[in-house]
Structure 1
Amino acid sequence: MRKQIVVLKGALGLAVVAVLALAVIVAPVILRVSSVELHQLAVALGQGLYVAIGLILCAIFEAFNLLRRIARGTAFSTESVKALGWIKWSAYGVTLTFTAVLPLIYLWADGEDAPGLLLFALILTAAALVVGVFANILEQLLLSVVVMKRENELMVWL
């Protein structure tokens, strides 16, 4: 179990590096390479991208906390349920942010003649929604386990 947690923490660390690289490298490039007519559009896209990056980093932080609780053996607690709630709402926030900027991405892709951009944005939006729904299901499942655990702790065994 310890090895799997270390591997998952390593994967989350790589995800943090990738997200921060996106924030430091890709977002400024979007602003630089956009044409003059599309500059205001690129600024709005950059703002949406930074909001999504913040939400993704929040979800990764809570995933680290969840892995730490699993390693300590305290996974079945209300804190873990709260962490899954944060992950869920962060994923829903990313979905909402990407959905809000999809019309801008369409205009940008149309202006730059890059139809793959819109498909990529749709895939990212769907992936964030899937993560949110999965976190919601896990949150409900973990909550029911925590409730059962509390009920069992209150039982008197004869």
Structure 2
Amino acid sequence: DKSRVILPAVAYGGDVTGAISSALKFLKHAVGNSKFCVGKADGTNADGNNEIDALGCGEANYDTSAPGDSYLEGDISADGFTKLTAVAAGNGHVGSNTCGVFKAITGNDGEAGGIKIATSNIKVHLAHGLIEGKVDDQPERAEFSNNFGQGKAHHTD
């Protein structure tokens, strides 16, 4: 029964779409001086903030439709979004010292800019875990290929 796949995908997809849009807006504007948080799509270590809008990563658009059988079964299963596998530290970042959001601060909370990243339990967590940071300048992505049911799409650890 395809409804077991399609209904959770639509529900979680809408939720995650909004979360991703919000996270990208946050990262797009979390810049200072020559630093940036969003890299160019071509893999260069250059500022990709202008590319975000061109790629359609602006406001989430829910006013679209598609034929009922148009989803790709290789992309969505009864368990989750099959291609959203984990991205470990070191693989998801643009370059060192480019985004203060993923830079640990020192001293007591509030004494310096940035977000305090000290251990795997204290981390930046955006878009339900699709973007998170445990290590300076190295955002990661949690496993999302098995996230339907049990509230797994609301990744909170």
Q: Which has the higher helix share?
A: 1
Same fold (TM over 0.5): no
Normalising TM by the smaller chain, what interval?
0.3 to 0.5
Q: TM-score, normalised by structure 1?
A: 0.38
Instruction: Name whichever structure is richer in strand by fraction.
Output: 2
Question: Larger radius of gyration, structure 1 or 2?
Answer: 1
